[in-house]
Chains A and B, each alone.
Chain A
Amino acid sequence: MAVRKNQANLTATEKRNFVNALLELKKSGRYDGFVRTHNQFIMSDTDNGDRVGHRSPSFLPWHRQFLIQFEKELQTVDASVTLPYWDWTADRTTTASIWGADFLGGNGRPRDAQVTTGPFAYSGGKWPITVNVDSRQYLQREMGAGVAQLPTRAEVDSVLAMATYDMAPWNSSSNGFRNHLEGWRGVNLHNRVHVWMGGQMSSGVSPNDPVFWLHHCFIDKLWAEWQRAHPTSTYLPAAGTANVVDLGDTMRPWNNVTPADMLDHTRFYTYDR
């Protein structure tokens, strides 16, 4: 069983293998397919229309399946690789080891927000941004510019304490755990991290930055933590909801997996703690 680990605890070899697998997927074109898929969903998921990947109950199972699919692609390159997670409540500065030149590289430079260190710097020639919303081909980051602070553990705990998974109207105005974790309401966890990163991470083509996967892996882990904290709570809505993926409905783009299939992550992987 694959074990997903805290990125802060990866060995030098694990970091190198993960980075090399990312670069290989990029080279083959498979990486950019994931960026394109994510952007298609983020542009088409609307509060009053069909919504699958975002601003809806299926935000969590959709991204769980999306990450599983991506992790499988990484493993076609290197079977030892699993997705690490970034606990941004703990590693919350621009000087944390996650931003080292041996891993994800650092913040963007002031002039144009261009990342100039690490394996994904444009000058390295291995990470051109091709699925983009504007003409710039280099990875950008502006850490802490859009919002000063990453969420704290206390803020995370306040959201994990919410016993109801999601509530009508099942969108960005909902009360409940899912929307508070997603961040459209309340202390703002997931959305705020995208904004804190800046660059492509705050846009619809956010998977252009490899930290996307580590961020969403931690969001996925928080869903698992919430399930442990609330064993009698489950995914909602159960059935018959217009424009929304009910527990037993299949999710686009796969059309063969349901939120019910995604509830138990231990069918696919475990976490290190």
Chain B
Amino acid sequence: MSSNVNRRLVLRGTAVAVAGAALAVPGVLAGTGTLAQAASTTDHSGHGGPATPGGPVPFDELYQGRRIVGKAAEGGHGAHHGGGFTVSIDGKELHLMRNADGTYISVINHYETYADPRAVARAAVDKLRGATLVPIAT
């Protein structure tokens, strides 16, 4: 599973360049996620590794018009709850938690488990329907 994601990152860079060259206008970035996703579904030959041994692979993609990013936590909240990983949607942190069996949940979908942080992030985007994450008073 994990090797596909780094490959997509590479492809995403390519897609940005292609889209930029072909259209030569600003503001088309939202389309590149679709291109990158299309590429990733047809090319599974990539290689890469998780940010931490045994951990999930970082990602940075556009999904349904939202930028979702998952990366190794640099300490703090995500480091504790997310199994050393943090996820954001359009730059706002999505509270993530890793279960004992290696699956993940988020504060948006807290009663349903997902295989990896990217699936959690995508499920959250689906449920947000364009709404913005807000910091939770704790």
A residues bordering B, Cβ < 8 Å?
36, 39-40, 42-44, 46-49, 55, 112-113, 131-136, 146-147, 169, 171-173, 183-184, 190-192, 194-195, 202-206
Cβ–Cβ contact B129 & A195, under 8 A:
no
How distant is B100 from chain A, measured CB to nearest CB, in Å?
4
Shortest Cβ-Cβ A-B pairs, 10 listed: A194-B111, A47-B100, A173-B100, A191-B111, A204-B107, A134-B131, A135-B132, A204-B110, A136-B131, A135-B131
In the bound complex, CA of A131 to CA of B128 (Å):
16
- Residue of B with least CB distance to A54: B110
Q: Is the CB of B137 within 8 A of A131?
A: yes
Give the A-B pair count, Cβ closer than 8 A.
89
Contacts of B137 in A (CB 8 A): 36, 131
Q: Establish whether residues A173 and B101, one from each chain, have CB atoms under 8 Å apart when the complex forms.
A: yes
Identity of the chain A residue whose Cβ is nearest the Cβ of B101 in the assembled complex: A173
14 A-B residue pairings within 8 Å (CB atoms): A42-B110, A46-B80, A55-B99, A133-B95, A133-B107, A133-B134, A134-B108, A134-B133, A136-B131, A169-B100, A172-B101, A173-B100, A204-B110, A205-B107
Nearest CB in chain B: distance from A176 CB, A: 14
Majority DSSP secondary structure for residues of A touching B: loop
- Count the B residues whose beta carbon is within 8 Å of the partner chain — how many? 25
Contacts of A36 in B (CB 8 A): 137-138
Interface of B is mostly: loop
Chain B residues contacting A134 (CB-CB under 8 Å) are 108, 128, 131-134
Give the complex CA separation of A261 and B125 in angstroms.
42
Task: Scan residues 41-89 of chain B and give those whose CB is less than 8 A from a CB of chain A.
Answer: 80-81
Task: List chain B residues, Cβ under 8 A from A113.
Answer: 129
CB-CB under 8 A from B97, the residues of chain A are 43, 46
- Residues in A with CB closer than 8 Å to B25 are none
With A and B bound together, what is the CA distance between A190 and B110 in angstroms? 12
A39-B136, A135-B134 are contacts. A171–B100 as well, Cβ < 8 Å?
Answer: yes
CA separation between A204 and B127, bound complex, in Å? 13
| Most B Cβ at <10 Å: residue of A133, A191, A205 | A133
Q: Are B134 and A46 neighbours in the complex by a CB distance under 8 Å?
A: no
List the A side residues contacting B95 at CB < 8 Å.
43, 133, 204
List B contacts of A135 (CB < 8 A).
131-134
B99 contacts which chain A residues (CB < 8 A)?
Answer: 47, 55, 172-173, 184
Query: Are B81's CB and A46's CB within 8 A?
Result: yes
Which residues of A are found within 8 Å of B113, using beta-carbon distances? Answer: 184
Residues of A within 8 A of B136 (CB): 39, 43, 131-133, 204-205
The interface residues of chain A lying within 8 Å CB-to-CB of B110 are 42, 194, 202-204, 206
How distant is the Cα of A137 from the Cα of B134 in the complex, in angstroms?
A: 12
**What separation, in Å, do the CA atoms of A40 and B98 have in the docked complex?**
17
A112–B107 contact, CB under 8 A? no
The winner among B99, B107, B110, B131 for most chain A CB atoms within 10 A is: B110
Q: Which residues of B contact A205 (CB under 8 A)?
A: 107, 136
| Contact for A43 among B81, B98, B111, CB less than 8 A | B81
Known pairs A133-B133, A169-B100, A172-B100; A183 contacts B138 (CB<8 A): no
